[in-house]
Amino acid sequence: MTRVDIFEKMMAKAKAGGYEGPDYKYELGFMVNGTNIYALIFREDFAKALWGDKISMWELAGQEIPNWKRALRSLIDAENKWEFLEENAL
């Protein structure tokens, strides 16, 4: 799956989860132009819509945190960000 495919599916999932920001084609233009796509992914409203706001136990931290925060923390540590997004955001 290409990065564009991953991004398109992430955007569709976030929209289905309640994200009301700019659409896929608008944001894709920034991605193609080399703008940092992580600026969108790390937006709280986008991350909540993508991964959800359900509270869960995070074993690594030994605490309960919302799924979207857990996912973003894991994304930061991921060696291959796009592989992580493909496996955990779609």
Average pLDDT over residues 24-31: 68
Residue 60 belongs to domain spanning: 3-88
DSSP H or E segment with residue 19: none
Which residue in 31, 43, 48, 30 sits closest to 89, CA to CA?
A: 48
Q: How confident is the model at residue 31 (pLDDT cuts 50, 70, 90)?
A: low
Structure tokens at 28: 């894709």
Task: Say how many domains are in the chain.
Answer: 1
pTM of the model: 0.65
Average pLDDT over residues 51-77: 81
